[in-house]
Amino acid sequence: MRDLGIAAAVVVGLTLASACCGDKRGDEAGYRVFAIEYAHSPKLRASGLVHEAPKDRFTPFSWYAWVVRGKGRVVLVDTGFDEVGAAKGFGVERFTPVPELLGGLGIRPEQVTDLIITHLHFDHAGNAAPYTKAKLWIQRAELDWGRKRVDAKRPRRGGVRLEDVRFLASLEGAGRLSLVDGDAEVVEGISVHRGGGHTPGLQWVEVRTGTATGTVVLAADNAYLYENLSERRPTASTRDKEGDLLLFDELLRTASRRDLAIPGHDPKVMREFPEVAPFVVELR
């Protein structure tokens, strides 16, 4: 009996230990959300990012993917690009492929269960091959648009690359493609929503963490910078400025705090939130 008592105490101790601390924190209780800065450009023209910004203003620019972890899932939101030449002309410094930075969180690419692609631009959809087990979530309208936008005669056009579109479409044959029309719950607590004039089928992500953090919104390129949201200035690239202003209200309403409506490229994200691994911050 005494041996059993000791064994029970050990089991209880182990259970408490694994429920308590370290890297596992949040896994049982809810989701943890991370931003991964995989590249950085020190100086881009602000007029390309913010509607009606002065022509002589420059701003730094970060390149991100995001990961949501918890409840037995690893959800990667966007993949970054696969080689720095893809971003020629953007003055990129300090490029590290996303799979390498995921290693800082102890995540191997094959552990990614779900891959959400917000839109088909090369810096969001350019390196999806390493995630061999992940189910892909993309808007049907985005993939349809991409298929028409590039072809063998014109393999690169306006930030969309034929190889990316082909690769993502090929996942259908592997039974790993989930085409979304509008809104969908990817897993319990993580939803995608179509919206914004950046590309025809751009989607943003809502993460109801189930922790004290509340709801995190990954706005992707609906907003490049916090400034787009706070100053109510749409991005310079959008085809629907009025629609984007309405969407900004929705993004800010959905996020539990204003700083948790996360823009797609703002270097401030790296300063506002705690760094938990090299070039990785936790959005909490």
Q: Which residue of 37, 221, 227, 244 would you call a contact of Zn ion, by CB under 5 A?
A: 221
Nearer to Zn ion, 121 or 161 (CB): 121
Least distance from C-beta 263 to Zn ion, angstroms? 12
Q: Does the footprint of Zn ion cover residue 266 (CB under 5 A)?
A: no
C-alpha span between 8 and 163 (Å, rounded): 55
Q: What angle do CA 190, 223, 228 make, to 5 degrees?
A: 135
Q: From residue 181 to residue 220, what is the string marking binding to Zn ion with x (rule CB under 5 A)?
A: ----------------------------------------
Least distance from C-beta 231 to Zn ion, angstroms? 20
Nearer to Zn ion, 31 or 122 (CB): 122
In Å, how far from its chain's centre is CA 166?
Answer: 21
Q: Long-range contact list for 266-271, CB < 8 A, 24+ apart?
A: 266/62, 266/224, 266/225, 266/226, 266/227, 267/37, 267/40, 267/60, 267/61, 267/62, 268/225, 268/226, 269/35, 269/37, 269/62, 269/64, 270/35, 270/37, 270/62
Identify residues 36-75 at the interface with Zn ion (CB under 5 A): none
Instruction: Provide the residue type at 83 as one letter.
Output: E
Least distance from C-beta 221 to Zn ion, angstroms? 4
CB 208 within 8 A of CB 193: no
C-alpha span between 251 and 234 (Å, rounded): 13
Of 56-64, 97-105, 117-125, 253-261, the window that binds Zn ion (rule: CB under 5 A) is: 117-125
Most distant CA pair in the chain: distance in Å?
A: 80
Least distance from C-beta 30 to Zn ion, angstroms? 29
Least distance from C-beta 154 to Zn ion, angstroms? 19
Q: Does the footprint of Zn ion cover residue 78 (CB under 5 A)?
A: no
Instruction: Provide the residue type at 71 as one letter.
Output: K
Q: Does the footprint of Zn ion cover residue 121 (CB under 5 A)?
A: yes
Of 113-121, 126-134, 163-171, 242-250, the window that binds Zn ion (rule: CB under 5 A) is: 113-121
Nearer to Zn ion, 206 or 221 (CB): 221
CB 206 within 8 A of CB 283: no
Least distance from C-beta 187 to Zn ion, angstroms? 25
Nearer to Zn ion, 74 or 143 (CB): 143
C-alpha span between 62 and 37 (Å, rounded): 6
Binding site for Zn ion (CB under 5 A): 121, 221
